[in-house]
Chains A and B, each alone.
Chain A
Amino acid sequence: MKAILTRRTIIILSTALLLALITVVSVWVFNTSGPVTGFANTVTQPVRILASSVAQVFGDIFSAIYEFEALQNRNDELLRRIAELEAAYREAHDLAIENARLRALLDFGQLHGNFTQEMATLRSWTGDNFTSTFVINLGSANSNIANGMGVATEYGVLIGQVFSVGATESTVITILDTRFSAAAFVGRRDTGDEGESSVTAKGDFSYMRSGYLILDAIDDDLIVRPGDTVVTSGRGGVFPPGLIIGEVDDVIRHVNEIGRFAVVEPLLDIENLTSVFVITGFEITGD
């Protein structure tokens, strides 16, 4: 035992524990990622930026090779979509009501939500298979962003939420990550009540790698169909109302037959984003 725990071994192990301890204290007490993480990020930043640019070029080449196949898939997808729309046409009345409600929701967000936002550029994606996060180029030193702020596109499509803020960069969890959840509106009540259709949109590990999230615990009297748009409700004050989360892909009953959940497809391919907007503040002026 003495031969294993030599002075050098203890020094190396103590250094690792000390660095971890500094970070734990920073995260828990000061709510920042800490000086060690900040220093490590700063030192590796040039390498990551350079490598990311090179990787992006290879990614583009890779995409071009498979573009033909993607176009064929897209064509099949569009044909399927036409068939769905023909079926949907027969339900014109329901859709018209739902459309009016969603428009009202979007108008609500646009009219009453007073946004302030900052543009950010994506630096890198996580290499972790168990989470869905990316790093943006805004931090506490060069912006007003803070933990928990919403991240969206310029078209009001919700992408995720700021998870941790460093000095010059921050980590964002996407809407697919298991730690993400947001109050949302979808569908309508079969009682005809248009006002109350709130659900929780959240990341689910089983669907994360396929690029989907879920709406959990959907009430039985809430009518939700594939194609329904999911938008933030603004409840809880975390996200402004009216941000689009995605479109319902499927509605599934739980294995135990108690309750349903819906699988939601984001409106855009999150992994191909290059820039996003962090919503640094918003006001809801209407009641």
Chain B
Amino acid sequence: MRRKVLIVSILLHAALLITVYVFQGVILPFLRIGGLVPLLLPTAVAGVALYEGRYVGGLTGLFAGILCDISFNQPVGIFTVTLTVIGLSIGALSDAVILQGFATYYLMCAASLVICTFVQIVPLVVFLQIPFYALIGTAIGQLVYSLILAFPLWFFIRALGKRADRIGIPRRAS
């Protein structure tokens, strides 16, 4: 019984990640607003980590990072590490300090998006010598657009979190 519950939980999280990945990597590039595509996977990681703790958050970050790297047509690496660290960190904060709520969710989403945007921008500034001011407009646009779409995502993530609480999936290592 316990095993079945765990498998269903894993499948639900996988479905969430794949759906978000399809939207971010395949559908939304066709529907750009102001030429921008939102970043959804980091917000999903932040939300899952907030509602389900460091382990689920870390694992979600690991797989979301792989998908994020693929959706950016780049070798698996930078976002795999970044989102894993984000998932573990927000999860640890959620386990120990911060409350689960809409405002916290948005704050964590914003923080994870800022970190991811920073990770995207740094190679362009360092290796291609693109001035920072030329990138900041796109960065802010990406942040705002992503945060708007983080709102509908919250309902799904909160539902997953509530389900995990209901069936008793532990947030911390025993």
Interface of A toward B, CB cutoff 8 Å: 3-4, 6-9, 12-13, 15-17, 19-20, 23-24, 26-27, 33-34, 36-37, 40-41, 44, 47-48, 51-52, 54-56, 58-59, 62, 124-131, 133-135, 164, 171, 178-179, 205-206, 209-210
Whole-angstrom CA separation of A54 from B173 in the bound complex: 42
Contact of A23 among B22, B61, B77, B135 (CB under 8 A): B77
Contacting pair A24 B72 (CB below 8 A)? no
Q: Can you pick out 30 interface pairs between chain A and chain B where the beta carbons lie within 8 Å of each other? A: A3-B96, A6-B173, A9-B55, A9-B92, A12-B55, A12-B62, A13-B85, A16-B62, A16-B84, A19-B66, A19-B77, A20-B81, A23-B76, A27-B75, A36-B76, A37-B69, A37-B76, A40-B66, A40-B69, A41-B70, A44-B21, A51-B27, A58-B31, A124-B26, A127-B28, A128-B71, A128-B73, A129-B141, A130-B135, A209-B36
Tell me the count of chain B residues lying within 8 A, CB to CB, of chain A.
52
Q: Is the interface of B mostly helix, strand, loop or mixed?
A: helix
Interface of B toward A, CB cutoff 8 Å: 18, 21-22, 24-31, 35-37, 39, 54-55, 58-59, 61-62, 65-67, 69-78, 80-81, 84-85, 88, 92, 96, 120-121, 124, 128, 130, 134-135, 138, 141-142, 173
Take A9-B54, A41-B70, A178-B128 as given contacts and tell me if A125 and B29 are in contact as well, using a CB distance cutoff of 8 Å. yes
In this complex, the member of B21, B29, B39 whose beta carbon has the largest number of chain A beta carbons within 10 angstroms is B29
**Could you say which residues of chain B place their CB within 8 Å of the CB of A209?**
35-36, 138
